[in-house]
Amino acid sequence: MSAGAILLAAGGTGGHMVPADALAGELRRRGRAVALVTDARGTRFPGLFEGVPVHVIPAATAAGLDPVGWVRAGRAILAGRSAACGLLRALGARAVVGFGGYPALPAMLAARAERQAALLHEQNAVLGRVNRFLARRVSLLALSFEETARVPAGVRTVVTGNPVRAEVLAARERPFAAPAPDAPFRLLVVGGSQGARILSQVVPAGLALLPPAERARLAVVHQARPEDLSAADAAYRAAGIAAECLPYMVDLPARMAAAHLVVSRAGASTLAELTAMGRPAILVPFAAATDDHQSANARAFAAARAGRVLAERDFTPAALAGAVEGFLRSPESLVAAAAAARALGRPDAVRLLADLVEAEAGLAPAAPPAAREAA
């Protein structure tokens, strides 16, 4: 394994953790040593960073005008920065890659203090606040979207796309096929790593409005918050709809690959996976997302006719039923939407980002796996 680790800084939400995990897998395949630095929330994602050393450091954010909160957050960030400086030295790190969000801030500040190679990756179509603060303090900002708002002038950027995991890329090779008119119609409902209450309230109610014959075709897999599971399950049963309700899906890529239609938030990782695989979707951007970035994420998807986008204010049971029924009755529209989604995908994102990390760290490109084995 190469001397000197690549330190990945991520945490908080799956939107930050999933692309970091994808990059970790690619770098490890190249023989690089990788470690993750995160906060306590970053340790709660089953199936991610298996075999990767994980280091938890203090981190915090402050909102509003509470001066006590700001002081506490400042102290936590400084403590995290100090811990990250020690970690960088102990690991002999060659570079630090930040994925945004406040858990990444202490590690990125430590990289600057230790004069380490440092770069950022932005998953969304609006540059996040932490990445905005750090953008001029790193050598490179990698972007997921060609059109990314709030990027400061003069910052060096490269569009890589948003890295997805190997199992997602493998599903890209599985052609999309619409179901026959009398065959089961597989519907996947996902609300991001923490679930989405509005999906659990509206989707079962909307599907219950479909004619009995169409309800009978549905095979639903629904991710819900733990506190919403029983109500969602009961609503599906009352409507006579076959549904499996789960709080978290370790096998989400396989579930998505098997779906004929996805109903989802418009998080960056979800969109990257939908487009990498080529799966049609009904997107419901999270209205309270910072800077309304989920609506920005969904614009290209909508413009390409890869599915439907319903704003939260328009996301009613009747609207959801109409959108699903349109796809149920028109298999050709499903096939066209799947093809449009696939055309938006960036399957080379993880390779391009890994290439940039190696270059910024001053590492020679890794030999292909076969060459390493032969050596």
Cα separation, 7 vs 186, in Å, equals 39
pLDDT band at 40 (very low <50, low <70, confident <90, very high): confident
Cα separation, 75 vs 153, in Å, equals 30
Place of tokens 């096929």: 177
pLDDT band at 47 (very low <50, low <70, confident <90, very high): confident
Note the pTM of the prediction, 2 decimals.
0.90
pLDDT band at 1 (very low <50, low <70, confident <90, very high): very low
Q: Work out whether the CA dihedral 239, 240, 246, 251 comes out positive or negative.
A: negative
In the predicted model, is pLDDT for residue 309 greater than 50? Answer: yes
Place of tokens 């076969």: 370
For residue 159, give the H/E element and its range.
strand 157-159
Arithmetic mean of pLDDT over the chain: 92
pLDDT band at 213 (very low <50, low <70, confident <90, very high): very high
- Over residues 152-206, the pLDDT tens digits come to 999 999 999 999 999 999 999 888 999 999 899 999 999 876 668 999 999 999 9
First to last CA, the chain: 13
CA distances from 52 to 12, 32, 43, 268 (A): 18, 11, 12, 23
The first and second tokens of residue 249, run together, are 């899906």
CA distances from 197 to 286, 302, 316 (A): 11, 23, 13
Is 248 or 295 the better-scoring residue by pLDDT? 295
Contacts of 167 (CB under 8 A, 6+ apart): 253, 254
In the predicted model, is pLDDT for residue 308 greater than 90? Answer: yes
pLDDT of residue 373: 39
pLDDT of residue 320: 98
